Chains A and B, each alone.
Chain A
Amino acid sequence: MVRLTIDGKEVQARQGEKVLWAALDNGIYIPHLCAIRGAEEPHAGCRLCFVEIEGRDGLVTACTEPAVGGMVVHTSTERVKRIVATVFELLLASHPVDCAHCLRSGGCELQRLARFLGIKLKSRRFRQLVREFPIDDSHPAILLDPNKCILCHRCIWTCRQRGIGALGYINRGFERRIGTFGDMPLAEVGCEGCEACAQVCPVGALAAKR
């Protein structure tokens, strides 16, 4: 075990444990969307878990940074807040904020994060650049709306973890989305309807129809 300080609080963590988990285990919340405990390597894609570490120049992502004895971590300096707010607003600006009609509303992690960060869901700072991919309604149990997806990778990881692997990525850049092999309907790619993806989806991109 190593001892480190996060936001002035001395905490203990296993040697090599990532700072993110060390903080969460000790009741210190750091925003994150893509981190999966137990994944072999961190996805490090959402870029929300930035922290400042004394003695280090730039900001680092807490999900990739191993805890080291004596480390002093700050999770909400002005620099951290500014970058995290901007990255989060970028997600919102490309997310159809239509909570009234969303199956996930109430349990949505974007709503929770917005509250935590003190940011309005309908951000006005950036241009609204929403995507217009077709919605996959083919499966009896699962609804796939790639337009709501924030590409956190959790569904893909979970689906593969269960040995199914029905989900993957399609396209590059802004057109990047979750989808199926050959872009076939979800009902035709061996999805068993276990709903594990819907359970881990932070937003309403994958939702259980029941």
Chain B
Amino acid sequence: MTAKASADIARAFHKLRVQARKEWQALKDSPKPQIFVGTATCGRAAGALEVRDTFRKLLAEGDIDAILTEVGCMGYCYAEPLVVIAKPGRPPIGYGYVTPGVAERLVKDFLLADDPCLEFALGAMEENELIPSILDQPRFKYETRVLLHHCGSIDPENLNHYIANGGYEALTKALGLSPQQIVEEISRSGLRGRGGAGFPTGRKWQICLAAPETPKYVIGNADEGDPGAFMDRAILESTPHSVLEGMAIAGYVIGAERGYLYVRAEYPLAVARAETAIRQAREAGLLGENILGSGFSFDIEVFCGSGAFVCGEETALISSMEGRPGMPHHRPPFPATRGLWSKPTLINNVKTLALVPHILRRSAQWHASLGTPASPGTAVFALAGKVVNTGLVEVPMGTTLRQLIFEVGGGIAKGKRFKAVQIGGPSGGCLPEGCLDLPIDFDRLSQSGAMMGSGGMVVLDEDDCMVEVARYFLDFTQRESCGKCTPCRLGTKQMLAILEDITRGRGTLADLALLKELAEVVRAASLCGLGKTAPNPVLTTLRYFEDEYIAHVTEGRCPALMCHDLIAYYILPERCERSCDACVGSCAVEAISPNRKRIKVIDQAKCVKCGTCLQSCPPQYSAVVRVSPPSLVPAER
């Protein structure tokens, strides 16, 4: 590329950026109060749209001059709906658990009067002298937000917000470099695929760049199917342009003119926001013909997946795009040499693609300096389960599980004891307390039997039965197996049947041995990643929690008191209050009645173990308990 052409591209982009910065600065400097409502799916599920509409209505009715902006996911999913209000003269303040009623108070007391309603506040969004800042929370000591940096702070449907914050600078820079230079930069950064397997991104790009056939394609994989994982969704809903920019750079590198963003149809908002972003980028000349006058043309289309978990696997994904059933096929050939329509196809997870602009804009060295030498950069986790602060977090690789769960996540909810953490979704594993000091990176997690996976992290406490957890995840993979290969289709079904028997007290020690053997065969013999990793939850729970399995099969006892068939409800006579009938009324099947001394007794033959009596027994008595095995319930005298 000539110096003149390069300068022309820079000039074309400069024009866009001046405009964008003007708009962004005007928003920042505005004398009007500003309200930001997080309306990603996580917020919407908690009622963010009602909150937004309440603000709109009140602002219109009271003729209040304030700016209402919708932003994406801020990461504090436990406190949704989230609102940030920035009033001139005050630091921006974040509010959690906002309801339409709270919104009304915020308008009346804060916008109209000057009471910031600190009773609803999570904290100020920046350090200041007046109000405690949320940045003082332990999670911010550990969090390094790269991918999530713009999530929740910019309007995902406004291209200018993205450009004003450094967006599309990397693409502009890339257009002035040779594809080989970019591949080298990505390789130097040490970036590894964020879809789960951690394949070196630079190497994949190099293979695809070297593939002689044309045309080539780029696919952004957002077919996020793990239960409890929502990183890809949050990124597409909160900063869709970062994914598009990464895809355009990838297209330029490998010499593709078309890109497809594969998003599951269950993510309607992510699809809508991605489509809006594509349209805006086209209008601004950042996608489409002759991008920024560089001569490079690249366009992106959204492809909606139909919700098969297996379609996250790259060959199955490509099959489904070609109109065939979403079934994986044998690799090699890898998609990088023979993918969509049998042409070289670069397929990366959207998180990987969204990291590329950051690396090009800042430098490979910067990225390589984050995290650990073998797994540089940050990892985004969807923290879920029995942890206090559920939500999206981004920490440098090498952070320990303990730091992530107890510092960033705030520990275990309701004062319970930590038992295990399930990492990597249904393909991942359950790690016990002894693994808490394990630094999180691709290789360490694999060695421990779990895997990075896409980044789902479910925290389990003492009330969770590990056999049941294994059964739950296997039930999922078994249903989602495409059915093409024998071990995955039938092996997981056999394993599930064994686990079901164990949770029902019908398992034997021989079953445990068979389970282990099957798990190893399914792992070794399956065709694709789904089958190869499906046994992981079983293998890790067998490895770390074998005593629980043994208690189930030899004593008919569920140590966590979770497996329905292995527990019974019992009312402790010495704690039951004669004058109280709370449980009697609450029992839907009339299994509870008072005896001669007016002590309540459960008729075990009638009891359906719904647990309502335990809930209804007043806390000062706490007379209802669960016991396992059910034979512990003494016979009625």
Contact = CB atoms under 8 A, between A and B. Distances in A.
Interface stretch (A101-109, A170-178, A199-207): A170-178
Given A169-B483, A172-B481, A90 B490 contact: yes
B552 interface: no
B537 to A, nearest CB: 17
| Residue of B310, B490, B498 with highest tally of chain A CB at under 10 A | B490
A47 B483 contact: no
A interface majority secondary structure: loop
Interface in B491-549: 491-494, 497-498, 514, 517-518, 521, 524-527
Contacts, number: 99
A33 to B, nearest CB: 9
A8 interface: no
Contacts of B525: 47, 50, 59, 83, 86-87
B330 A64 contact: yes
Nearest to A169: B325
Contacts of A59: 524-525
Contacts of A47: 485-487, 525-527
A87 B487 contact: yes
B486 A90 contact: yes
A43, A47, A61, A94: most-surrounded residue (chain B CB, <10 A): A47
Given A50-B525, A125-B514, A172-B481, A87 B330 contact: no
A44 B489 CA distance: 13
Interface string A29-69: 00000000000011111111010000000110100100000
A41 B330 contact: yes
Given A47-B486, A87-B486, A42 B497 contact: no
A173 B480 contact: yes
Interface string A94-131: 10000000000000000000000000000001110100
Contacts of B329: 41, 44
Contacts of B518: 86
A45 B497 contact: no
B481 A173 contact: yes
A174 B486 contact: no
B483 A172 contact: yes
- Most chain-B Cβ atoms within 10 A of its Cβ — which of A58, A64, A82, A87? A87
Interface in A134-173: 150-151, 168-169, 171-173
A202 to B, nearest CB: 13
A14 B308 CA distance: 39
A121 B481 CA distance: 26
A191 interface: no
B314 to A, nearest CB: 15
A133 to B, nearest CB: 13
B483 A87 contact: no
A93 interface: yes
B380 interface: no
B201 interface: no
A112 to B, nearest CB: 17
Contact of A174 (B310, B325, B490, B527): B490
A87 B483 CA distance: 14
A171 B308 CA distance: 11
A91 interface: yes
B368 interface: no
9 contacts: A44-B527, A48-B486, A58-B524, A82-B521, A83-B524, A151-B484, A169-B325, A172-B483, A176-B482
Given A46-B486, A173-B489, 7 more contacts: A45-B484, A45-B486, A45-B527, A64-B330, A90-B487, A125-B514, A129-B490
The 7 closest A-B pairs by CB, nearest first: A176-B483, A90-B490, A44-B330, A173-B481, A86-B521, A64-B330, A174-B493
